[in-house]
Structures are given as structure tokens and as C-alpha cells.
Amino acid sequence: MPRKPQHKDKALAVLRAHALKLIHARNSYALSAFLICPPFNHPAKHLIDAPDPHGDTLVHFAARAHDVAALRILVTEFGGDARAVNEHGRQPIHEAIDSADCVRFLVTECGVDINAMKRGDWTPLMIAGTSFFPSHDARKINRF
């Protein structure tokens, strides 16, 4: 059975779950509307930067979903932390590495370091390299 987030504030956990549903549904309009008029006493930034038990924030989830529109809303419009670090040392850029649009947004508009290290000394550039070149077979590399 999957673990449920253990927030001190149950209302925050419920609202965070709703925001995650909007991110996974790629409904950026509804996400923005939800954060503009939050039905709770917490500021939107508090909801965006609240980590789950593994340290992932809503920005991590939007990056993992490769949803640049959600990233723009969370970071640019509401001040979410584009450099938040989870328990594995991963920042949102590590999660978005398979999406050129998300990486471009995080690097150019948010100023995230493309060489940000995660635990284990891996940078986003190194992760991208292993994704595109999983072996050192020259025939595969020459196709690019």
C-alpha cells in the first residue's frame, strides 16, 4: 500500500493532493485559478513549497510531468522554489531533464544551474547524457 503524505496540517495535505491532480491532468488554467483563490488560510507559496515525505514540492511534480505551463505558474506567478532539493538531492531540473522545454525554462527564466549536483554527484547534464547515450556504442552516438 502506498504511503500517504503526513502533513502536520491535514487541510494543507488535502489541498496539495488537489493541486497534484491538476498538475497530472495538465490543467494549468485550473491550477492557476486554484492558487489565485485558495480555499484555505495558507498563502499559495506555502502550498507550492510544502514538501511531501520525500521532500518533493509541487515544482518537482510539475517538472517530472514535463509540464512547462505548470512550472511557469508555480515558479514565475507564485514564487515557487525552482531550486528545492528533495531527500535524494534532486532539484526540479533533475526531474525535467528529458524535456528540453522544461530545462530551457528552468535554466533561462529561473536561473537554475545546469550543473547542480544531486546526491551521488550527478548533474542534470550527466543524467541527460546517460539518457541519450546509454552505452558507449559509437554506432548509437553517431545517429545523433
Q: Which domain holds residue 75?
A: 10-142
Mean pLDDT of the chain: 82
CATH number at residue 49: 1.25.40.20
90 lies in a domain?
Answer: yes
Residue 6's pLDDT band (cuts 50, 70, 90): low
Stated pTM of the model: 0.80
Region 31-55: mean pLDDT is 86
CB burial of 65-75 (b: ≥16 within 10 Å; e: otherwise) equals: bbbbbbbbbbb
Residues 34-46: what's their mean pLDDT? 79
User: Per-residue pLDDT tens for 70-122?
Assistant: 999 999 999 999 999 999 889 999 999 889 899 999 999 999 988 877 766 77
Q: Is residue 76 part of a domain?
A: yes
3 part of a folded domain: no
What is the C-alpha to C-alpha distance for residues 144 and 140, in angstroms, rounded to an integer?
A: 8
